Structure 1
């Protein structure tokens, strides 16, 4: 199956590095266009190519590696998804300007990390995310670990646990293959309504834990 990555920031670039490390082909994209990715793609090697967002979105499996605040604008502008698999790597957080009053908000326990939680009301993030990609088979994954450890799936004599959840069994099976092939230990958290909130940053019960399967 072909793989596309929308977003080349911390998550997207590290997912690309992870795939490249295991010789898995993918198309990497961002809002600035393929030329802006030339040096990164050269670093990653021949299995990763730069493309437009539309090209990445046309793949069989698409990593959504965009900021939560950009997700609706970016994903809703794309053509029909027609049953393709979309990996929701987003988390409902907003990055704070370090010079703004929000950066010194004592009521925000996440201010020290440069982020604040987005108020979603009674909904969880994947429930809202699904609305941005109508017709896609959404699998929540690759969102709960620090992006800097994505290139180190094997550690301390074991494999890092990577949670995933979704409502389509076949889509989950394909994502599980990627998780296993790249060296992680996959743990299925069930449906999106169950697993999504559990693994979603910043307040999901499992989101801040870095488990190792030995």
Structure 2
């Protein structure tokens, strides 16, 4: 299984550090030349490989960590995303509801990535919290996942556990996705909820 993170800003780098902590290799890409952020990638760890957007799009599981408004540009990297899982880490805060057509933001993302199985996740915590060790007081920090594809959600849940987090599935995008989405000037009920699961 190959992994990529598209977007290497605050959240993208935070996700890369989560992979590096567990020694899991991941490619990182932006719309820029990989050499322009190679030093930042190298500083995170040896398994963090800067690459082009076209190369990152070849991964099996892709974390979309760009501004919500940029997702259509990323989606143009491939004519079809069939067989891939896209983890939608975007937040549409400040995006007017009418721009979403009354749909959860993750549904809008899913439409753009034709053929992909989209899982909303890793977007409800601020970067500074997500960047901390997920091992908290003998428990594990929770990440919420929502998807219309249960198998994709299960796969991302397994990855979340490998990264040290406790995944909690919220159901489909139109139910669970609403709990962890930002839109207009409001945040879903579970955004910023920093929960810990004790096994």
* Distance across 2 between alignment mates of 1:181 and 1:79: 31
Pick from 193, 196, 199 the counterpart of residue 212 of structure 1: 196
> Is the aligned partner of 1:118 residue 2:99?
no
* Distance across 2 between alignment mates of 1:85 and 1:57: 11
Structure possessing the higher radius of gyration over alpha carbons: 1
Structure-2-length-normalised TM-score:
0.91
* Distance across 1 between alignment mates of 2:175 and 2:101: 17
- State the Cα distance separating 1:157 from its structure 2 match: 3.0
* Distance across 1 between alignment mates of 2:169 and 2:27: 26
- State the Cα distance separating 1:90 from its structure 2 match: 0.7
Q: Which residue matches 1:106?
A: none
State the aligned residue count. Answer: 192
- State the Cα distance separating 1:17 from its structure 2 match: 0.8
Structure-1-length-normalised TM-score:
0.85
Which digits, 9 at most, give the CA deviation of each residue in 1:162-208, with x for residues without a partner?
10011222211210111101111110001111111111134211113
Q: Which residue matches 1:107?
A: none
Q: Where do 5+ consecutive residues of structure 2 fail to align? A: none
* Distance across 2 between alignment mates of 1:66 and 1:178: 20
- State the Cα distance separating 1:123 from its structure 2 match: 1.4
Q: Where do 5+ consecutive residues of structure 1 fail to align? A: 94-115
Which digits, 9 at most, give the CA deviation of each residue in 1:115-158, with x for residues without a partner?
x3432341110111111101000011111111112232122332
Pick from 167, 179, 182 the counterpart of residue 198 of structure 1: 179
* Distance across 1 between alignment mates of 2:123 and 2:156: 13
Give the alignment of 1:18-167 within 5 angstroms.
18-93=18-93, 116-119=94-97, 120-152=100-132, 153-167=134-148
Runs of 4+ displaced beyond 2 Å: 76-79, 116-121
Give the direction of change, closer, same or farther, for the CA distance of 1:117–1:208 in structure 2 (3 Å limit): farther
SS in 2 for 1:170: helix
Pick from 135, 152, 158 the counterpart of residue 177 of structure 1: 158
